[in-house]
Structure 1
Amino acid sequence: MTKGFLIVYTYQGIMRKNDLFFSLILVPLDSIMISGAFLLAYLVRFQFEATALPSVKDLGASEFTAEFIYLIPIWIIIFAFLGLYKINIVGKRISTEAIKVFMAVSTSVLITVIVLFGIRSTEFSRLLLIYMWFFAITLVFLERVIMIMLQRALYKKGVGLKKVILLKNGGKLEQRLENDMSRPNTMGYKLINVYSALEITPQKLAKVIAKEKPDLILQTNTKQSEEKSIAIMRVCLDRGVEFTFVPNLLNIIQTKTELADFFSTPLFIVRGSPLEGWGRMVKRTMDIIGSLIAIILASPFFIIVALAV
């Protein structure tokens, strides 16, 4: 095992209901926050500033609702494409969530500009878009922080934890992970048993899974044969259990890696990248979105420039 790093493959089986619940509930909550951002932007622009800064087109409440209500599902779809509803296997970090929210809202505002000005040729206050952008980032981010803190609090209380079985070979890093997962934590994992990776067999593991009902098997033995690792992986997947293991160097070179923080330990999650069928379509879509990142980051400045013209 590389010192200081844990490098793993992750094959996701059935996710804990707690994770799924928190991902699903974000959709209606985001819709409420987006609606709130639209409402605040409307009130600030057309109620509080109407006299000081006259608008090109003064929208009434009903007219404003008709113009903008259909944008909410479009924003939610953009949020989904940018990974705001992704179920993370190592928990969510507030700093990462802040970046995602900023990019998602900025992209959504940019699409709103394209729809209103490019397609529908709607005339209204451009300053309204800046307020929408600001309030949406603020409200959605605050909502995400509250949900992350709530989920972490539930984890500390032992609610919704993933039960983990560790298959190890006695390294120091493994001992640290074992200690961290044995204590109450905010990562959402609970170590329920430890077995020697050299002694465990696929047949024995099948009996262990049936008896202890884990959600995840974490194998950290790099010296185990590929045949045995594949057999153990199949036992896990056939029973709907997530399987995580340390690959050899060849696996790392051939597969994409993603850096994550796992109990303050740098961790590489290595996932396969299927490029057939839906996988290819999703990849192409994400490539297009990725090419717009530079425009996304600059979109608030474009709006400011538009106001000045």
Structure 2
Amino acid sequence: MKLSPLTRRRWENFKTKKRGYFSFWIISTLMVLSLFAEFLANDKPVIMAYEGEIYLPVLRTYSESTFGGVFETEADYRSESVQHLIEDGDGWMLWPPIPYSFDTIDWNTEGAVPEAPSARHWLGTDDIGRDVTARIIYGFRLSVIFGLILTFLSALIGITVGATQGYFGGLVDLIGQRVVEIWAGLPVLFLIIILTSLFEPNPLALLLVLLLFNWMALVAVVRAEFLRTRNFDYVDAAKALGEKDFVIMWKYILPNAMVATLTFLPFLVSGSITTLTSLDFLGFGLPAGHPSLGELLAQGKAN
């Protein structure tokens, strides 16, 4: 892919800022690795062989009967009986670096749980014997994906509301601002806790609840940019040519407004992740069993 001279110049300028440049690569590497969490931490082999056939348990589900067993249920590759069946079929298994998934309970820990870090569990186990390293990897992925989706939806709503207020102004802007100010004045944390306690929490419901309040962050920035830009000559020229309001907003004004908007997006992402982690820490976030950074923090505090 060929970059424009302007993009190359911006990239070279970004590389001179060492702290930001190395932070970018560290975060990007962690995000990419977390996308392949199943290949890094799993209680299933990455690849295996049985009677000359190759199997990919990470990608497909195989019953125990596939390997000569009796049951039609999914094979438990950690059980000695399944391992003996595979060995009898001249098979082998290649395990991931961490042979535990986020919900795998190790019933063979050497001491009481939570267990201290060891060669078996790099960061120890939690209070029911699950591997902490595996839960961090899966929890990081869940938090990042949740934060990115929440940020995207919040930006979509916030940009739409701010653009509408700033472009049309007048009564539309007046009513919109009063609604935003009233909505922003609500005790957000208490309302989120109340709403999440009314129903059984799940990722989608939690996303919708947080979306009710998260969209306001970009409204003021987009509104200010549209108020400033709507009276420029090129906007008047577009109106004189008969362009529709939506086309003018989308094609002519929004690209200029995005410069200021993009500077807020990293803070919106980090804020979304922090909010999810805080709710999980307080016990009002994701349901029990989900890999959660906040739940790990709560266990660390308790133990």
Superposition TM-score, scaled by structure 2 size: 0.21
Report which of the two structures shows the higher radius of gyration computed on alpha carbons. Answer: 2
The structure richer in helix per residue is 2
